[in-house]
Copies of this chain bind each other. A is one copy, B any other.
Amino acid sequence: MSPRTEQQFEDIRREKVEHIKLCALQLFAENGYDTTPISKIAKVAGISKGLIYNYFSSKEELLKEILISGLKNFISFLKIEEIDRIKREEIIAFVDGNLNLLKQNTDYYKLYFSLVMQPKTVQLLENEMRDVFGQIFEKFIHYFEQQGEDQPYVKARYLLAIFDGIGIHYIIDPERFPLDEIQEILITKI
């Protein structure tokens, strides 16, 4: 048996990291971060408690990595960087994307919303969140300016608030919340 190559080790690491993050995300979303012990994550992931600490220096670090991954996914999925001419179609695509993401990544949003109110989380992600939401926010403002709205700042804030309102309500009651219909209304209004 020849020793494993560096590549093999890296593969193992990456897979395990993803697996742990996924299990943890589900549990955090379902039961809350503080009320989910590491031991439970380990059990669900089918590994030992100790191994988690091979990959994440602490429970908080694990949380942070999950949240940051979610943000990155958000950015790449919505192609936020690429929206530069801020046309109507792009905004609509963004709205669509946002709500589609909500359907696909319910767990992430659940975690996100349950933590976003706590100062600890905000500190944890301060820079990352400022970056992402700052960008989106500016694009919305520009869009409303272009549209000739009189209070572009207010409108942008309002629209972002509506997104989160929809997000929360969908997450609380995904079965019955009429996401598709509301999506249409929202797009119509824009």
Q: List B contacts of A113 (CB < 8 A).
A: 113, 117, 168
A contact face: mostly helix, strand, loop, or mixed? helix
Q: Closest CB of chain B to A152's CB: distance in Å? A: 11
Q: List B contacts of A110 (CB < 8 A).
A: 117
Q: Closest CB of chain B to A114's CB: distance in Å? A: 4
Q: Closest CB of chain B to A178's CB: distance in Å? A: 5
Number of copies: 4
Bitwise, A160-174 to B at CB < 8 A (1) or not (0) is 111111111101100
Q: List B contacts of A122 (CB < 8 A).
A: 172
Residue of B nearest to A118 (CB): B32
Among A116, A117, A163, the one with the most B-chain Cβ atoms within 10 Å of its Cβ is A117
Can you list 19 A-B pairs, Cβ within 8 angstroms, ordered by A? Answer: A31-B118, A31-B119, A31-B120, A32-B34, A35-B120, A114-B117, A114-B118, A117-B168, A154-B178, A154-B182, A157-B182, A158-B182, A161-B162, A161-B165, A161-B177, A162-B162, A163-B165, A164-B164, A165-B167
On A, residues with C-beta under 8 Å from B are 30-32, 34-35, 110, 113-120, 122, 151, 153-155, 157-158, 160-169, 171-172, 177-178, 181-182, 185
